[in-house]
Amino acid sequence: MNALNITELACAYSSTRTSRDIANNLVLSGLNLSIEDGEIVCLLGRSGCGKSTLLKAIAGLIQPVSGTIALHGKEVSSAARVSPPEQRGIGMIFQDYALFPHLTVFDNIAFGLKKQPSEQIRQRVQEMLQLVNLYGLDQRYPHELSGGQQQRVAIARALANEPAILLLDEPFSNIDSQVRQHLVREIRDILKQQKVAGLFVTHSREEGFAFADTIAVMGQGRIMQQGTAFDIYHHPDNRFIADFMGAGNVLPATIEDEFHVRTPLGVVASTQPIPMAKAGNKANLELFIRPQMVTVAAVDKSADSLSGTCPQATITRQQFMGKSIRSEIHLDCCQGSYQLVAEHANPVAGNATVQLNIIPHDLVLFDANGLNARQKKVV
């Protein structure tokens, strides 16, 4: 059984409930999402796409216009009925920790356990302190802790009630960058150890890749694609997702055969068959190329090595990124001018003329509507 099932969810912020008013103020529309028991899903999306609205709907703070939300098979939200937040068994972690400043660490963690016997509360709090590596700090106050320690207290408080699912709203955004990477791994390990399903909201791709099992990319009030970070990064369903998941180059392309397309850089090879390829198919497509798939080789302008090499490209800017050099490249050819980005190991002389090649890989091709052309079946 899934920890969470959301089906055709629509939500709106509106002062009235007329159909026209609701239609004009929809924040979520036709949204579908499922999370398995023990799975951590990262909800990625730009500001204003509806991420926080979705969390509020799951928590029971917003009533849907249509659709349903079910937790472990039990429907908790619909247009007709909403179960109270306190009856949902949901834990929440916020970016500002939301700790009670006048309570000790012990009392913060024990806050939701008041109905239990005192000895049981003490034992549970100590278990949580050990779990989040804060044992011995139970009598400190939040202002006596670092940001990472405060977020651990928030995690312990949320897990103390054994929630069915944990909602995390950008929990690492206020943590120092030097601590954040370690804390991301640590909290992920805690959730996995406790076998708690989690929905993690962020706008940072790097945090999402490190923390979650699967990624759900959100846009236009719905989930546009859900899968592993590797699959979405390398096989985006559309141009929006491709751009959102990281920088890329776009070149016009036409199909040569089942394994090749022709571009302004020449013929580019695919390691996998192109499903829509067929005899005589010359559809206008766009080839999306990640910077790391572009190789850069310096050439001598005065040498014969340039003869027959077309097109010519020029490095216009280089930036050292730590693990690689990121180069901006101007490409001139008979089809027009293009600005490309490449990532390579060694620097190249500024304003150098270079030869570009595309490493053969599973090509990402988009049609005129910006949809992944690989999803089309051969006719």
Fold matches, 2-89+163-241 and 247-375: no
pLDDT digits (tens, 9 = 90+) for 71-90: 999 999 999 999 999 899 89
User: Which of the four pLDDT bands, split at 50, 70 and 90, describes residue 293?
Assistant: very high
Measured CA to CA, the distance from residue 18 to residue 161 in angstroms comes to 39
CA distances from 233 to 236, 252, 286, 290 (A): 6, 20, 17, 9
**Cα–Cα distance measured from residue 362 to residue 37, given in angstroms and rounded to the nearest whole number:** 32
pLDDT in tens, 169-192: 988 887 887 788 888 898 899 999
Q: What's the predicted TM-score (pTM) here? A: 0.85
Domain 2-89+163-241 in this protein, CATH class: alpha beta
Phi/psi at 286 (nearest 5 deg)?
Answer: -120, 130
Distance CA 359, CA 293 (A): 5
pLDDT at 368: 87
- Give the residue extent of every domain in the chain: 2-89+163-241, 247-375
In three-state secondary structure terms, 239 is helix
Query: Which class in CATH covers the domain with range 247-375?
Result: mainly beta
Six-digit token pair at 107? 């009392």
136-139 long-range CB contacts below 8 Å, 24 or more apart? 137/105, 138/104, 138/105, 138/106, 138/109, 139/104, 139/105, 139/106
